């Protein structure tokens, strides 16, 4: 849902709905099943973003700096 940092974390690679909106969730799930090719492409884009920004390799310099500062 569109709360906190979720939209920024997804960076346009996911499907967002308003909080506490089961009707929107249902509509989005139906859309995904009706548009599997587009949804799969979005999923591949999301995985690529996740690996680039949140993998161990991507996080290593950040975590190393934090640990070194302790």
Report the candidate in 4, 1, 2, 11 with the shortest Cα–Cα distance to residue 54: 11
Residue 27 domain flag: yes
The verdict on residue 28 lying in a domain is yes
Whether residue 62 lies inside any domain: the answer is: yes
Q: What domain count does the chain have?
A: 1
When pLDDT is cut at 50, 70 and 90, the band that residue 70 belongs to is confident
| Distances from the Cα of 54 to the Cα of 30, 49, 61, 62, angstroms | 29, 8, 11, 11
| pTM score of the predicted model | 0.76
What are the pLDDT digits (tens) for 41-58? 999 999 999 999 999 999
How many CB atoms lie under 10 A from the CB of residue 30?
Answer: 10
The answer to whether 18 touches 24, Cβ cutoff 8 Å, is yes
Give residue-wise pLDDT tens across range 11-34.
Answer: 999 999 999 999 999 999 999 999
């Amino acid at each position: 849902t569109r709360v906190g940092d979720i939209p920024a974390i997804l960076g346009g690679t996911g499907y967002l709905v308003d909080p506490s909106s089961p009707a929107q969730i249902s509509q989005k799930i139906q859309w995904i099943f009706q548009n599997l090719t587009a949804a799969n492409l979005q999923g591949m884009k999301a995985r690529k973003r996740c690996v680039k920004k949140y993998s161990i390799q991507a996080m290593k310099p950040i975590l190393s700096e934090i640990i070194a500062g302790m």
